[in-house]
Chains A and B, each alone.
Chain A
Amino acid sequence: MSRFFSGLRDGVGFDILLVGAALLFLLALAGAPLVYNVLMSFQQVDMFTLGALFRPFVGVDNYVAVVQQPEFWLVTRNTLVFVFGSMAGQFVLGFALALFFAQNFPGASTIRGLFLVSWVMPGLVVGGIWSFILAGDYGVLNVILKALGIIDANVFWKSDPNFSIWAVIIANIWLGLAFNMLLLSVGLAAISRDLYEAAELDGANAFQRFWTITMPMMRPTIGAVLSLGLIGTLQQFDLFPALTEGGPANTSNVAGYWSWQLSFQLYDFAKGATVSVMMFLLVLVASVVYVRSTRHEVRG
């Protein structure tokens, strides 16, 4: 016991305790479910074996079955459209806003702070609000677009197969915009004003300063924002039940939501697990890119 307390004082032992607690937490709540999920994707899971850990091993049968599902390619395509559409929208608008608020006009930081509202809001609430905005017959977006003369007839954003995925993308861009802007703002603020002044004296115009100073200096931040954006978009769930439930006819269904449907609506846990393992591999690639991009920081 006295050794334990001396461990508290000199840091030896106590530090191991602290690290151990965190590690245990990670293993129990992230590591074990992950392994269990991967294991399940190689097993035959039905209502009778649901409680067992060791079930009949089926090799890659689940993977083959998932790929052979009629909606697989549609969901894959939707997932790609959703991920790249959301990320592009979040990043481009977020970067534009970050640059705008970096101009330091009066009230810039206050207004920038207000944008965080979208980040604080639960996804289900955001989905609910956008559900009203995007409503085909009474939605405010249609009213605006009609008043501007952009459309003649109402667009049924959520129920038209051509637009349903875009309805979720629009809501998701709004949801992730503040997070992107915030991270990019921090990156911009970290670039010393001296560099811009030196570049200006060296003869660079605003456009050249952006491409030769801002962009290269922002590389680590951009890498982080895009990687986190990819992860955040892949795990986006709340907006789907609130807006389209993946419909109509899976035209707005994506891998994450599909995996949930397979597991918890159809109780086909093996296929649900298989889809999520496929997604996990994608996120793993993104994480490697993220870690590598932060390792190559060139500040200072």
Chain B
Amino acid sequence: MTAQIEMRDIQKHYGSFHALKGISLTIDKGSFVALVGPSGCGKSTLLRSIAGLETITSGTLQIAGKTMTGVPPRHRDIAMVFQSYALYPHMTVEENLTYSLRLHGVGKADARQKAAEVAATTGLTSLLGRYPRQLSGGQRQRVAMGRAIIRNPKAFLFDEPLSNLDASLRVQMRKEIRALHDRLGATSVYVTHDQIEAMTMADWVVVMRDGLIEQQGRPLDLYDKPVNRFVAGFIGSPAMNFLPGHIAETGNAVMLADGAGTLPLDRGLQPGREVIVGVRPEHLDVVGDAATFHLEIGVVESTGSATYLTSPDGNFQLVQSERTSLASGDRIGLRIDPTKIHLFDPQSGIAL
């Protein structure tokens, strides 16, 4: 794998606001990398810095081996799909698609030919003569994609491209974008606040918070081995449950606070140490006798395929794939596989 985009210690200040606090990231050629994090974490700023729409304060950015300092966006040879799509309202779909080709002096016939090919790939063939205002949200999204594809750029940048679509279309476009990426063998950087999009689409997920990379890795590695409480809570839906407790005298179990129960561990830790226990809602089993801790049910929600049980204070949730006859007010016994228990330091939040 060769690095297509290489970032070293990138800093970005907006006046007194420190948006990026030293980002180092290597994006391999042909990979699909998702930048994910809550609003204001700097993911969009980082993407716009790659595009050259923002100037980085310090650090180096290389695209295909060339340092991009002082290179304007139009000479970086990268395409971007905007959240708003940013289609040119005064141009037809075909003119939108061929805009960059026309700027680069490609002949009219060649441009038309290329537009027809791209339209066929993105399902726009019958819409070439329309204006953006005559298209639905999904169709506009496709035009924005087509406009990026037609240039065959060094990298594709996506800035929350699906956030303006309704839920079912979003799921469909997720697959289409990924399929397109695979077909083109392109390098893609995808910004989203939706961790499901990041998990399902990307080969490599970068979790950001407050201008820093919290953790990066393959999607399932982030799910299985979060390095801190923030990543643990951010990746996975519904979110991981956190319970305070301390290590038992034996060193291989956690006593939950308020006497809620005991969780056996698969590893040994210093007895008496304060910890935060992290358990994923989908890793809890409702059991009768073998229960190690108990929970009172506040709300029962069923989607048909799954049942969501929530504690009365709303802080604890579990998912059952079977239907249950449980009701609000019931007290249930729970058990969890010791290998699926996460432990975090209460102060630093770092995984133990």
Q: Do the two chains belong together in a single complex? A: yes
What is A's interface to B at a CB cutoff of 8 Å?
Answer: 192, 194-195, 197-205, 208, 212-213, 216-217, 219, 298-300
Known A-B contacts A195-B86, A298-B89; A200 and B73 likewise in contact (beta carbons under 8 Å): yes
Query: Which stretch of B98-106, B221-229, B315-323 is in the interface?
Result: B98-106
| A299/B74 in contact, CB under 8 A | no
Q: List 24 A-B contacts (CB under 8 A).
A: A192-B86, A194-B82, A195-B86, A197-B51, A197-B53, A197-B73, A197-B82, A197-B86, A198-B147, A200-B73, A201-B74, A201-B80, A202-B100, A203-B74, A203-B100, A203-B103, A204-B74, A204-B103, A205-B74, A298-B89, A298-B90, A299-B89, A300-B89, A300-B133
In the complex, are the beta carbons of A200 and B86 less than 8 A apart?
Answer: no
Is B185 an interface residue when CB atoms closer than 8 A count as contact? Answer: no
B103 touches A208 (CB 8 A): yes
| CB of B14, distance to nearest CB on chain A (Å) | 14
Measured between alpha carbons, how far is A200 from B77 in the docked complex, in Å? 11
CB contacts (< 8 Å) of B74 on chain A: these are 200-205
Interface flag for B207 (CB, 8 Å): no
Q: What secondary structure prevails in chain A residues at the interface with B? A: helix
B48 to chain A, nearest CB (A): 8
Max chain A Cβ within 10 angstroms of own Cβ: one of B51, B72, B99, B151: B99
Contact partners of B20 in chain A: CB under 8 A: none
Give the number of residue pairs across the A-B interface with Cβ within 8 Å.
63
Distance in Å: Cβ of A190 to nearest Cβ of chain B: 11
- What separation, in Å, do the CA atoms of A299 and B132 have in the docked complex? 10
Q: Known: A194-B86, A195-B88. Is A201-B133 also a contact (CB below 8 A)?
A: no
Q: 9 tightest A-B contacts by CB?
A: A194-B86, A202-B100, A198-B86, A216-B90, A203-B74, A200-B73, A203-B103, A298-B90, A201-B73
Inter-chain contact A201/B78, CB cutoff 8 Å: yes
Q: Which of A197, A201, A204 has the most CB of B within 10 A?
A: A201
Q: How far does the alpha carbon of A157 sit from the alpha carbon of B51 in the complex, in Å?
A: 55
Say if the beta carbon of B79 comes within 8 Å of chain A. yes
CB A61 to nearest CB in B, in angstroms, measures 50
Residues of A within 8 A of B133 (CB): 298, 300
B335 to A: closest C-beta gap in Å: 52
Is B49 on the interface with A (CB-CB < 8 A)? Answer: no
A219 to B133: give the CA distance in the assembly, Å. Answer: 17
- B87-131 Cβ-contact flags toward A at 8 Å (1 or 0): 011100000000110011000000000000000000000000001
A71 to chain B, nearest CB (A): 46
Determine if B84 is an interface residue (Cβ-Cβ < 8 Å). yes
1/0 per residue, CB under 8 A from A, across B197-229: the answer is 000000000000000000000000000000000
B25 to chain A, nearest CB (A): 20
A222 to chain B, nearest CB (A): 13
